[in-house]
Amino acid sequence: MRVKLRPGTHFAPVPQGIYWTRAGRSFLLTAPAGLYLALDSQLDLLTRGTDVDELSSALGESARPAVQRILDTLLDRDVLLDLDRAGTPPTPGEADRYAEVLSYLEARCADPYRVFARLRASVVPVLGDGPAAAVARRTIVGYGATTTATVSPGTELVVLVDDADRPLDLVAAAASLPAGTRVVPVHAGERIALVGAPEAGDLAEFVALGRRAGDWAAAEPDGAAPCPLSAVLAGSLATHAVLGALTGTLPAESAPTLVHGHDVQAQRLPGRPPRPPGTHPRRCSTGSARSSPAGPGRTVGSGTSTWPSCRCRWPPRSWFPGRAGWPAGATTAPRPSCRFAWRPPARPSVRPVPASPRPGRPLGTGGRRRCGCSAPLCSTPPPVRRPAGTTRRPPPAPCGACSTSTTSGRCRPAATHCPTWTGSWSR
């Protein structure tokens, strides 16, 4: 069995043995003090590929049991690569030309040479023009794959580039692709650049996200990124996503990457909040009418529903950095011909509200809602007069705006006054 030390592995001597670290994981290999010097002397063999016989010959035949035990431990820890299962190695010419790609695959894949063979046979269409598209074509060829300007049947991945000087309708281009084709969208605007994660489906949400990011950059003093430098960086980020998608090394939860700022920063935006089961379908403005779990008689599809969980206006404000708040005209980015407004799901025990200085009947303490009631409360509390010589008694039922009671029998809304409070007084 031939093994090879994975790229990105580090080891150092410690009093207890050898400290190993790779890919954010570390462990301690308990060993005599001389083991580190023995492994360090054979580092060339470990990085090139070796076996137990070769190491035993270099270190001495008496070290064979220790060498076998150490190699087994490092294989279990995924520090060594089993070359017998890695596939057919590339030719010396390919290994020298694509050394960086092979190092990337050897550090992440169990069978890097099989994955590299699939990468060499891949054809990736790049549609669009501009600096981002030029960088994408050049880098994909540098990875060992092939690029083209046309989409043929059986294509698995396509790069779509919308450049500020050479615009491309991303939504229409994605709709024209065969069903199931994954797309890496790139928006290289005048102020920002945005790179999406490889996925199949409609790009309306991505276009809306790019529009909102551009509005945010226009409102921030240093929010805009210089062009075409931002477009070049976006093309490089898109090719990295292509490499991860073709080799299976892309993280499970990928998110768009925003290029912004005068100093050209690349920031990965937070992941999209998960859509609860049974919530509004993605194609709300064009789909057919369906029954809604929000209640009987409500339908979606024609823009006439008032379903509160609709997420057509996407994404949330928290996706964008900045010191100042959003401008008044850039609060949401609706889809074309869609009337739904996205609202986050209601949560019990939400934000605290300071006590009101106005007189009236206060409810609860701490200003937190415990029952989850979402009914609006009036701005002016109704006058409540306590008869002379009486004491206050809390209401036995909720405030009337909801039907949920707490263990103490009180409803604690997120305000200091209830518009429908009906209590009683006792002596």
Angle at 140 between CA 139 and CA 142, to 5 degrees: 60
pLDDT at 351 over 70: no
122-268 belongs to which CATH class? Answer: alpha beta
pTM over 0.75: no
If pLDDT is split at 50, 70 and 90, which confidence band does 390 have? low
Does residue 426 have a pLDDT over 80? no
**Residue 270: per-residue pLDDT:** 76
Among 22-26, 165-169, 367-371, the range scoring the smallest mean pLDDT is 367-371
| Domains of the chain, residue spans | 3-85, 87-121, 122-268
Q: pLDDT at residue 281 above 50?
A: no
**pLDDT value of residue 197:** 92
For 199, the token pair is 């996925």
List the beta bridge partners of residue 182. Answer: 157
pLDDT at 207: 93
DSSP string, 209-277: HHHHHHHHHHHSTT-PPPTTHHHHHHHHHHHHHHHHHHHT-S-SS---EEEETTTTEEEEPPPPPPPPT
Phi and psi based region of residue 400 (left: phi greater than 0; alpha: psi -120 to 50; beta: remaining):
left
pLDDT higher than threshold 60 for residue 304: no
65-109 pLDDT, tens per residue?
Answer: 989 999 999 999 999 999 999 999 999 999 999 999 999 999 999
C-alpha count within 13 angstroms, C-beta hemisphere, residue 39: 24
For residues 282 and 5, the model is more confident at 5
Confidence (pLDDT) at 73:
93
Confidence of residue 290 (pLDDT cuts 50, 70, 90): very low
At residue 377, does pLDDT exceed 50? no
* pLDDT for residue 282: 44
pLDDT-wise least confident of 8-22, 182-196, 308-322: 308-322
- Tens digit of each residue's pLDDT (9 = 90 or more) over 106-147: 999 999 999 999 999 999 999 999 999 999 999 999 999 999
